Amino acid sequence: MARRRPDRNQSLAQYSRRAGIYDFELSFFEPIRRRAIERLGLRPGDTVIDAGCGTGLSLGPLIAGVGGKGRIVAIEQSPDMIEKARERVREHGWRNVTLINAPVEEAEIGAKVDAALFHFTHDVLREPVAVANVVDRLKVGARVVASGLNCGHLWALPVNLVVLAAALHSVSTLEGIVRPWSHLEEALGRIRVEQMMLGGVYVASGMVGRKR
Ligand SMILES: C[S@@+](CC[C@H](N)C(=O)[O-])C[C@H]1O[C@@H](n2cnc3c(N)ncnc32)[C@H](O)[C@@H]1O
């Protein structure tokens, strides 16, 4: 079957519709965000990429990890979603957040960073150029975490049906939904995958080794 690439226009339309209610919709998955950010093992002073940052729900916990001397580079292609993130940054008075309104595959990230988060960003993870653009900016030893929906074993049919229903209004391709982390795994060499919520959600973490 031909690989169906993520569709930027479809994604922009999805998130233009969802931006106003997105934070409420995601509230059920907040424990997964906490687990994903914990797995980043952030240290004060770190710089971290938030790829596909959406409305900026991860910014607070990321800032808690990197502290005032750290920095967040948050990339988001949807103008509607990043506007919410911009409001959040303004309200909190965060000065160490750089918001980039661009597709991750085209974003100019700048200096090398210590960590990267892909939280519920299936479309980004299924675009090898986007993954490569982030991985290219990671220092040796940098930690990377990807998390989100995935379809698991056939016996978990009811869970898979719920995952597919949720995915259909949040991603533009179901390609790779069984192993959403596969391009990241290829780029990093090794990755640890934890399954949660009866196998419908994963948190994959890895580190940039010396040889890539
Ligand atoms: C489900 S939301 C996740 C948002 C955020 N990471 C969170 O944890 O709440 C997926 C986000 O990825 C963004 N996105 C999808 N493809 C993208 C791409 N290629 N580059 C940048 N952002 C992208 C969407 O616009 C959307 O805001």
Domain ranges of the chain: 8-207
What is d(CA 16, CA 3) in angstroms, rounded to the nearest whole number? 25
Q: Whose CA is nearest to atom 17 of ligand 1?
A: 124
Max CA separation in the chain (angstroms):
48
Q: How confident is the model at residue 199 (pLDDT cuts 50, 70, 90)?
A: confident
**Mean pLDDT across 145-160:** 82
Closest CA to 49 of 95, 92, 109: 109
Per the DSSP assignment, residues forming a β-bridge with 144 are: 116, 206
Helices within the chain (DSSP H only): 8-18, 22-26, 30-39, 59-66, 79-92, 122-125, 128-135, 157-168, 182-188
Q: Whose CA is nearest to atom 25 of ligand 1?
A: 78
CA dist list (Å): 191 to 44, 145, 180, 185: 24, 9, 12, 6
73 CA distance to ligand 1 centroid (A)?
14
**Mean pLDDT across 17-24:** 95
Write the pLDDT tens digit of every residue in 62-114: 999 999 999 999 999 999 999 999 999 999 999 999 999 999 999 999 999 99
38 CA distance to ligand 1 centroid (A)?
20
Asked whether the predicted pLDDT for residue 212 surpasses 70, the reply is no
Write the pLDDT tens digit of every residue in 113-136: 999 999 999 999 999 999 999 999
Fold of 8-207: Rossmann fold (3.40.50)
Could you identify the atom of ligand 1 that is nearest to the CA of residue 127?
A: 19
Asked whether the predicted pLDDT for residue 154 surpasses 70, the reply is no
Helix axis angle for 30-39 and 59-66, nearest 10°, is 30
pLDDT at 3: 62
Q: Whose CA is nearest to atom 13 of ligand 1?
A: 52
The pocket around ligand 1, CB under 6 angstroms, is made up of 11, 15, 26, 52-54, 57-58, 75-78, 81, 103-105, 119-121, 123-124, 127, 130, 170
Q: Whose CA is nearest to atom 27 of ligand 1?
A: 54
Q: Whose CA is nearest to atom 6 of ligand 1?
A: 53
Q: Whose CA is nearest to atom 26 of ligand 1?
A: 54
pLDDT above 70 covers a percentage of the chain that reads: 96
170 CA distance to ligand 1 centroid (A)?
9
Q: How confident is the model at residue 166 (pLDDT cuts 50, 70, 90)?
A: confident
Q: How confident is the model at residue 198 (pLDDT cuts 50, 70, 90)?
A: confident
Query: Is 95 strand, coil or helix?
Result: coil
Asked whether the predicted pLDDT for residue 10 surpasses 60, the reply is yes
Whether 93 and 63 have beta carbons less than 8 Å apart is answered as: no
pLDDT at 165: 79
54 CA distance to ligand 1 centroid (A)?
5
